[in-house]
Amino acid sequence: MGVPPASTTGPTAAATSLGAKPPANSGSKNSRRKTQPLDLALTTHIRLLARFLKEDDVPKPPSEALVRAFDQKFCTDAVYEGLSQLVAPAALDSIHEEVEQLRSAQNAKSTSTHLRNISRVPETKLISILTAVHAFGLSEWWPDYTGNFNTRYNNAHRAVALSTFQDAANTHAYNHLTPIRSQVNNMDLLVRMYDHYVHHYLKNQALAELKFPGATMGKYKKTAMYKRRQRLQKAREDYLIEQGFPSRVVDLFHDVEAVSEDEFDEARQVYLIRSKPGRSTQVTEFAAEIDKRRLQNKSMKRGARQPVPRIRPDQPIEPSVNALPGNDTPIDWYDPTWFNERDDWKVFFGNSAEAERWKNMKTAAFMETDGNETFAKYQLPSTETLATLAGNDGNDEVALTEEQKEQAKLLKQARTRRKGQVKDKGKRKASEDVVSDDETVPGPSKKPRTGEPSAAMDENEG
């Protein structure tokens, strides 16, 4: 297993690629930006306030009634009264129930990264964050994603979000996301990060959903599926390297497109593996064995989160994107029968002999047997018309008399003479501007004047 890589365009191309050495896998990644932990913590906080607990939750514009109620309530100094108002007992009970659900064991093992991050926030911190929204006077935290970011309504939501975030982060609510304390207290940085996420990223999602309902969900599923394939490809490759397999075997899983797609089954809580056209049965079974051994090793590690199982359904599921791995993938990744049919032209020509005749036929032979007959079916412009379009109508030149030729010659000489006079005039003008030897020129001069010895002459004479 692990024949050197070959192109997938057919047996001929594959033969020319045998023995080609694949490029070395750099394996290096750019270091994480220093603000990435802060960005993750702030994103988690915003999604907590908005109740976007799953990656596929789509933002929607607030109702007109909600915005109108806000404007009526905060159009006067009543805003200051709202900042210190008490939260109703019914609202507090609802918050406690919600926090209990957020911190449940089921959410701690959720496939949603945001929900897992939220479930790790201490209970008292979650209660404090959600209570602050009601204490400010908002019935719910719901920015106007599609509107102007600088309205009173959106400014109030920004202030609530960043104020509660700073309080939570400075009291260790998001320690598991490791934000840097100095960045947490940098309000200018927080405002820019908040506006980018809420009024750019989420805004684009909301607008796309209004224009094409379901587009955001479809895009998320494809992105999430591709990321899972990336992680699985890297895990398989790392396992083979750790086990000491040679590069010809490791390269079978060097490309993300060598890994099958999958989709989540809500009822069974598993990922269903989609089919991978073109991949050999041997490589498919080898991949399954790699995953089995990887999971066995991971189950023995204390504290390791067990991944959601991937199973192959009884009825094959077609992939959403049928893409093949690159040319660096060894040729035995492909099923031989499938590979050989890629350049099999007998379906078009009727038989293999006819296909070979067309491939090897010289141009002259082709024109004699097929080309001339085919060419005659097309109506093209006449040769004279094509010559005119190409500028090759040289036969239409006008014949000149001897007198006309002499006049043209003299006219050319006259033009040449006038050009020469203009050039001479410029030279004379330049020569008149030259200073004579007797005149004194201020400033240093590289060329000594006549009658004055240079420094070099003095040294030689001395």
What pLDDT score does 362 carry? 84
What pLDDT score does 46 carry? 96
What pLDDT score does 349 carry? 61
* Residues with pLDDT less than 50, the chain: 3-32, 82, 427-462
What pLDDT score does 4 carry? 46
Distances 438 to 443, 451, 455 between C-alpha atoms, Å: 15, 11, 21
What pLDDT score does 346 carry? 54
Strand partners, 263: 272
What pLDDT score does 409 carry? 83
Structure tokens at 216: 């955001």
What pLDDT score does 178 carry? 93
Angstrom distance (rounded) from CA 237 to CA 269: 26
What pLDDT score does 210 carry? 87
What pLDDT score does 9 carry? 39
Angstrom distance (rounded) from CA 86 to CA 143: 23
